């Protein structure tokens, strides 16, 4: 097949006119907004023009279906409330170009998808979660956005377009191309990233309970200061993790609230989020043990108590070897010596699709690692390189 990078870039720029923010190349195209629905209708036209059969499912996932067994390419075209022009759009338009070129060449058989509400206006990766069977439609229908709108009412806006759910048995696999949304490729001047796995996430609320006291009359040695416990805990886990983590492991204390949070009062309580991500479920478990042990020890040592909230988790998803191998071979063809393997620290629709079929992912660099912002961008040479890798991988798989 012969892909056309100019046509691909032209479509990408056309798509960003739907919900254009007027600031840089940014878009405002949340799931089920007028801009999102208009973009999907435009995309359906392009799919039809490419010779694909257009199919909206009950939640607004848009498929461009090829005949017979096919490889499925795509991502999502909804955006964050203040989003970038690439994010999921890139994978959908790259998929469209490969499917179109394949159709023009008389094969292989390539289908395209734009999942709905990947950005989680209602749930988490909602459209692919329903299709993949992670949550049922009834449960999803009760989800609400920040304004109280239900998912049921939101998807009703597209009811005139929709048919039933697409049978996943017709797909041999799913490949999602995406911007990295992080700085690894950009900072190392690497053009292509082949994803090894989508990391698992653990997230837990932790609270240290000490003794609220007067900050003037309470000597240091009699304090049970919850902020000091938090700070000591942070130092302790940073130290103990060193023996367990890889350069791809991440952990974050992103949320913290002191009580009563006044400059003249020794904090009696510190509640904070502890989140950690890694591609290896065993490593996630080992980190959890360190977290619990360190928190317990610090509480004991300083006369505080510690409470652990529910452990929320998503399991790591390893990419399929065959699909990943095809992407690696394609990357070596297109960008010899200038590609790498890395985990995805962010969630993607591929996590849900993996419940149905083999999946793999391909990254191109995000300039300065910026994403979910109007100034998200990628060099057009890198976008085209990613497209070529995707096309070569599809050819190789279908050969």
Write out the residues near a copy of itself by the rule CB under 8 A.
180-184, 187, 199, 201, 203, 213-222, 225, 227-228, 230-232, 234-235, 238, 247-258, 261-267, 273, 275, 277, 344-347, 369, 371-372
DSSP reduced 3-state for 47: helix
Question: Smallest distance, Å, CB 261 to a copy of itself?
Answer: 5
Question: Smallest distance, Å, CB 328 to a copy of itself?
Answer: 21
Of 110 and 185, the one with the shorter C-beta distance to a copy of itself is 185
Residue partners of 168: CB distance under 8 A and separation at least 6: 131, 356, 357
Of 247 and 337, the one with the shorter C-beta distance to a copy of itself is 247
Question: Smallest distance, Å, CB 63 to a copy of itself?
Answer: 28
Structure tokens given for 177: 């191309």
Question: Smallest distance, Å, CB 8 to a copy of itself?
Answer: 24
Of 37 and 229, the one with the shorter C-beta distance to a copy of itself is 229
Of 341 and 346, the one with the shorter C-beta distance to a copy of itself is 346
Q: At what angle do helices 380-398 and 87-105 cross, to 10 degrees?
A: 50
The number of angstroms, rounded, from the C-alpha of 11 to the middle of its chain's C-alpha atoms is 23
Neighbours of 381 (CB within 10 A): 11
Question: Smallest distance, Å, CB 309 to a copy of itself?
Answer: 11
Q: Is residue 3 within 8 Å of 101, Cβ to Cβ?
A: yes
Question: Smallest distance, Å, CB 96 to a copy of itself?
Answer: 25
Buried b / exposed e over 226-241, threshold 16 CB at 10 Å, is: bbbbbebbbebbeebb
Of 99 and 232, the one with the shorter C-beta distance to a copy of itself is 232
**DSSP secondary structure string for all residues of 125-160:** SHHHHHHTTSS-HHHHHT-B-TTS-BHHHHHHTTGG
Neighbours of 310 (CB within 10 A): 8
Of 136 and 307, the one with the shorter C-beta distance to a copy of itself is 307
């Amino acid at each position: 097949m012969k892909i056309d990078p100019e046509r691909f870039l032209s479509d990408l720029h056309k798509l960003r006119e739907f919900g254009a923010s007027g600031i840089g190349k940014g878009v405002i195209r949340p799931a089920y907004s007028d801009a999102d629905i208009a973009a999907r209708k435009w995309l359906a036209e392009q799919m039809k023009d490419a010779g694909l059969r257009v199919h909206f499912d009950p939640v607004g996932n848009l498929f461009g279906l090829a005949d017979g067994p096919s490889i499925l390419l795509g991502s999502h075209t909804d955006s964050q409330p203040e989003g970038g022009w690439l994010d999921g759009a890139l994978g959908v338009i790259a998929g469209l170009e490969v499917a179109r070129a394949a159709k023009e060449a008389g094969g292989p058989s390539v289908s395209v998808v734009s999942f709905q509400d990947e950005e989680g206006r209602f749930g988490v990766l909602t459209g692919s979660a329903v299709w993949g069977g992670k949550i049922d439609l009834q449960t999803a229908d009760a989800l609400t956005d920040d304004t109280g709108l239900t998912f049921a009412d939101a998807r009703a806006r597209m009811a005139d377009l929709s048919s039933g759910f697409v049978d996943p048995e017709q797909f041999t696999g799913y490949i999602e191309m995406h911007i990295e949304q992080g700085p690894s490729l950009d900072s190392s001047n690497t053009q292509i990233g082949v994803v090894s796995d989508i990391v698992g996430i653990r997230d837990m609320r932790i609270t240290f309970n000490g003794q609220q006291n007067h900050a003037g009359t309470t000597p240091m040695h009699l304090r049970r200061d919850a902020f000091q416990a938090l700070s000591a805990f942070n130092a302790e886990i940073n130290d103990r993790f060193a023996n367990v983590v890889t350069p791809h492991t991440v952990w974050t204390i992103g949320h913290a609230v002191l009580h009563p949070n006044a400059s003249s009062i020794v904090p009696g309580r510190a509640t904070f989020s502890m989140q950690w991500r890694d591609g290896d479920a065993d490593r996630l478990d080992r980190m959890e043990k360190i977290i619990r042990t360190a928190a317990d020890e610090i509480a004991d040592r300083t006369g505080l108590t510690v409470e652990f909230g529910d452990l929320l988790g998503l399991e790591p998803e390893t990419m399929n070897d065959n699909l990943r191998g095809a992407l690696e071979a394609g990357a070596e063809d297109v960008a010899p010596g200038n590609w790498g393997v890395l985990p995805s620290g962010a969630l993607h629709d591929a996590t849900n699709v993996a419940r149905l079929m083999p999946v793999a992912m391909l990254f191109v660099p995000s300039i300065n690692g910026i994403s979910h912002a109007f100034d998200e961008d990628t060099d057009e040479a890198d976008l085209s390189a990613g497209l070529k890798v995707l096309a070569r991988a599809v050819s190789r798989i279908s050969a």
